[in-house]
Amino acid sequence: MIRFVERLLRLHPGEGRRGLLLFTYLFLVIASFVASKAVRDALFLERYRAVQLPYVDMAIGLLVGLVVSIYLRIGRRVALHTLQAGSLVLLSATALAFWWLSVTRSGGWLFPVIYVWVGMFGVLAPAQVWTLANYVFTTRAAKRVFGLIGSGAIVGWIVGGLLTERSARQLGTENILLVVAGVLMVSAVLVVLVWRERPTGIEEPELEAGRHGGLRDSLVLVWSSPYLRSIACLVFVSSLVTTVAGWQFKAVAKAHIPETDALAAFFGTFNFYAGLLSLGAQLLLTTRLLRTFGIGFGLFIVPTLLAASTVSLLIAGSLAAAVFLKGSDQVVRYSLDKATVELLYLPVPASQTFQIKSFIDTVVWRTGDGLAGVIVLVCAGWVGLSAAQVGSVNIVLIGVWMAVAFVARRQYVQNLTISLRDYRIDTERAAAPVLDRTSVDIVARSLASDDAGEILYALGVFEADHAKVVHPAVRGLLTHASPDIRMRAVRLLASAGDLSVMPTVERLLYDRHLEVRTEALLYLTQHATIDPLDRIDRLGEFADYSIRAATVAFLARPGKAQNVDAAQLILDGMVRDDGDDGRRTRIEAARLLTWLPDIFESPLRRLLHDSDPEVARHAVVAVGVLRKRRLVPEVLDLLREPLIVPDGIDALARFGDAIVGTVRDFFVDPAVPREIRRELPELLLRISTANARFVLMENLTEPDTKIRFRIIRALNKLARLAPLRVEEKLVDVVLHAEILGLYRSHQVLGAVARHAVAPEMIEPAVRDAIEHETERIFRLLQVRYPGIDMHSAYVGLRSGNLVVHDNALEFVETVLSPQLRELLVPLLDREVTIDERVRVADAVIGVPVATLAEAARILACTDDSWLQACAAYVIGQAGLAGFTPQLDAWIADPDPLLREAAREARTRLEARAHL
């Protein structure tokens, strides 16, 4: 039976057994409560008038605080299952005592006491079931099983109502308490069994005997959190409204059915049929409605129905209208509404669940009951309103309920957002700043260190970051024992424009090592007015390139000594130098141009086209510093060289909006190499003007996946920086295409897994492609919905922490439209198997991928050379001769891995052909 239930409800192994035990536990608790409730109402109304009911309701509201305070304090010292089992045994013994007193004594005090006791029982016992469920299920498991558990409450209402009807007529109302006592003893045994079945990964809550854990602590905990306040207000207002509606139902029923046993039987019959309808709603509607419309719909359905039924009672005032009123509450509240409210507790930390749920589900709920009693007492007892007329007050309260439900739904999303954002920030903080902190610490520590390699690494990090402000420790390295460190320190300080070390650099002109003297001369030439020829004559040998560079700088500087023609002549010689030290000379020429007057365009253009990428890189930097717009197309052409890309983007970004038109021409020109076009989204992101954003949006349908990913990433970052004007229809089209592509990748993964063709090689490649597709989808979602933190949701979904992952998935389910939710969630939930995803993909796309040939064709059509290499491998392994022309084309591909894979596959096909 357990296996059948697990298959029927799509539960994981072990969840069915725990779910059925909790189903039975809740069923027995609710059934006994329904029976007890019918007994207490009938016995009380036998001796007292309906208008006196508010007094006992208020007594329950007052006493529940005392009871729960004791309960919470004991819970800090006693294990959860022991506490719950013990309280159930105590309730059973109390029920047995009340039965004996009701049979042997007839004092008027007994029936109000029974009424209050049943109220306390109805508050505590059901809450214990859900608290226990929170400690034996993870978040995602809870969403799968809570529907089954909640059905136990509904069946309990049905059986409890039927039991009350039959028992009241045959045994008498008082004897039902004897049955309740026995049921509660069985429930205590179930608590122990459920606790033994909890998964090994879920630890027992830690006891905190040192803390008081009373009502005050719980109140502070709830009040300090906007989210918990919203849950508490929702429970309070709903309790207030439904208690008033329940009183209206009882008062109208008593007016029409005055005889005690007949009234108890009527209550039992009502509970029976209301339970049947509620069970039908639970089985047929709850899961479907929550999945389709989300948590917001579930929060509003009960107040909406209660508003309609309250109006009908105001108009008609009949028993049928009262039945409709109570049925609107009972049928939906214990199916859809209960499941929805319990979902609100899922993001609450496990360490707080016991204290929070125990407080809200008892004290807050019963406080609402007590205040409802005051309202009924004032309206019916003092003002003299009829039961139907009291509904006018309830209409106002229902409006408040809807407002609170709106806030709770918003807080639910915000709470998930905050938790996911905190996780993302912590993750990024742990990873991103490590390099910066490490490099700075290395420099600082190296002042007292003999490890020159460590210092050089740190200086290289500063140079790579193009730091304009260096760590103060770098200045101390000018006197380091290593000449390499002294030389690199001078160079870095020169780039940063640090003039505070000029006297120290002056002394380095006398350094024993040529490289140090050379860098010192270049520093002084750049930052001090000196005649390099005079220094050379006085100080001795310097490297040739340093002498030439210093001379050019001296002659080009405005002043009496300026001689532009001579500087041009020397600089041209440096640019054309191809001797033994020519590379270093040309690099120095390019570096020199960044701080010379803008009068040397011809040497700069020649350096841009230098065959050495390092020389061209320094020339690109000079183009950016000098703002040479005429050279922008030439710099764009150089973006095909990986070494030049970072400096090239930095240089081009300096031009801002002025070059966006040129960049757009490169973007849309199919003759421009892909290597260049792939760097343009980052450049447009750096420019970040309205025109740059337009160009990115214009090219969102780019067929090359790598270029499209970079476009999406750029738009994604721009959307987080400032409001982004989005072409929603265009984004939706691309988003839909990306989701279909993700489904297609899962079909390929399923086909490869079924045919077992080198799964250790092909599957990781396809999974990597799936990861990239998923990232593109979430970045597009961030562009489409800039007000929703999809970035944090994506990080959370990739987390190995099950709680974080489940919260992220719950966030996605809550904020997305039903259509997107239906498409995406099966592909994001890690508990959905590949086979299940493939079945969904076959249904969504309509064309399955059944053979290896179909999988190979899909891989071959991608623009990813690694996936194409995988396709070639599949073709060779499976002997797919129809792909021979494709293999021949790949053999001529510039990618070496793809060429080799194609050659090997071609060899395998030829070998098969000769067999």
pLDDT digits (tens, 9 = 90+) for 710-744: 999 999 888 877 777 778 888 888 999 999 999 99
pLDDT of 320 reads 87
Q: How many helices (H) and strands (E) does the chain have?
A: 46, 0
User: Whole-angstrom Cα distance, residue 460 to residue 26?
Assistant: 67
Is the C-alpha dihedral spanning 160, 163, 166, 171 positive or negative?
Answer: negative
Binned at pLDDT 50, 70 and 90, residue 447 comes out as: very low
Please provide the DSSP assignment of 747-781 as one string: HHHHHHHHHTSSHHHHHHHHHHHHHHHHHHHHHHH
pLDDT of 771 reads 92
- Region 830-856: mean pLDDT is 87
Yes or no: say if 459 and 489 are a contact pair by the CB < 8 Å rule. yes
Query: Cα angle vertex 822, ends 818, 828, to 5°?
Result: 125
pLDDT of 210 > 50? The answer is no
Binned at pLDDT 50, 70 and 90, residue 659 comes out as: very high
Least confident range of 299-303, 668-672, 687-691, 769-773: 299-303
Least confident range of 305-309, 486-490, 635-639, 760-764: 760-764
pLDDT of 672 reads 92
- Type of residue numbered 429: R
pLDDT of 171 > 90? The answer is no
User: Whole-angstrom Cα distance, residue 225 to residue 229?
Assistant: 6
Of the two residues 61 and 254, the one the predictor is more confident about is 254
Buried b (16+ CB within 10 A) or exposed e, 235-252: bbbbbbbbbbbbbbbbbb
User: Is 800 in a helix, a strand, or coil?
Assistant: coil
pLDDT of 649 reads 94
- Region 231-242: mean pLDDT is 90
- Region 35-44: mean pLDDT is 74
User: Whole-angstrom Cα distance, residue 859 to residue 670?
Assistant: 23
Least confident range of 192-201, 322-331, 826-835, 894-903: 192-201
Q: Which stretch of DSSP H or E encloses residue 267?
A: helix 260-281
When computed from its CA atoms, the radius of gyration of the chain, rounded to whole angstroms, is 39
pLDDT of 212 reads 47
- Region 652-674: mean pLDDT is 92
**Residues of the chain above pLDDT 90, percent:** 14
Binned at pLDDT 50, 70 and 90, residue 143 comes out as: low
Q: What are phi and psi of 210, to 5 degrees?
A: -75, -15
pLDDT of 686 > 80? The answer is yes
User: Whole-angstrom Cα distance, residue 241 to residue 226?
Assistant: 22
Highest-confidence range of 478-492, 566-580, 686-700, 873-887, by mean pLDDT? Answer: 686-700
pLDDT of 332 > 60? The answer is yes
Q: Is 386 exposed, middle or buried (0-12, 13-18, 19+ CB in 10 A)?
A: middle
Q: At what angle do helices 110-136 and 176-196 cross, to 10 degrees?
A: 20
pLDDT of 237 > 80? The answer is yes
pLDDT of 436 reads 46
If we measure between CA atoms, which residue out of 24, 56, 151 comes closest to residue 374? 56
H-type helices in 359-433, by residue range?
365-376, 391-431
pLDDT of 438 reads 47
**Residues of the chain above pLDDT 70, percent:** 82
Buried b (16+ CB within 10 A) or exposed e, 400-426: ebeebbebbbebbbebbbbbbbebbee
pLDDT of 476 > 90? The answer is no
Least confident range of 576-580, 778-782, 866-870: 576-580
Distance, CA of 703 to chain centre: 29
pLDDT of 432 reads 46
pLDDT of 656 reads 92
pLDDT of 567 reads 78
Highest-confidence range of 281-290, 335-344, 702-711, by mean pLDDT? Answer: 702-711
For 758, the token pair is 């080198």
pLDDT of 435 reads 40
pLDDT of 434 reads 42
Tens-digit pLDDT profile for residues 404-425: 999 988 888 888 888 888 888 7
User: Whole-angstrom Cα distance, residue 749 to residue 637?
Assistant: 38
Of the two residues 75 and 240, the one the predictor is more confident about is 240
- Region 216-231: mean pLDDT is 85
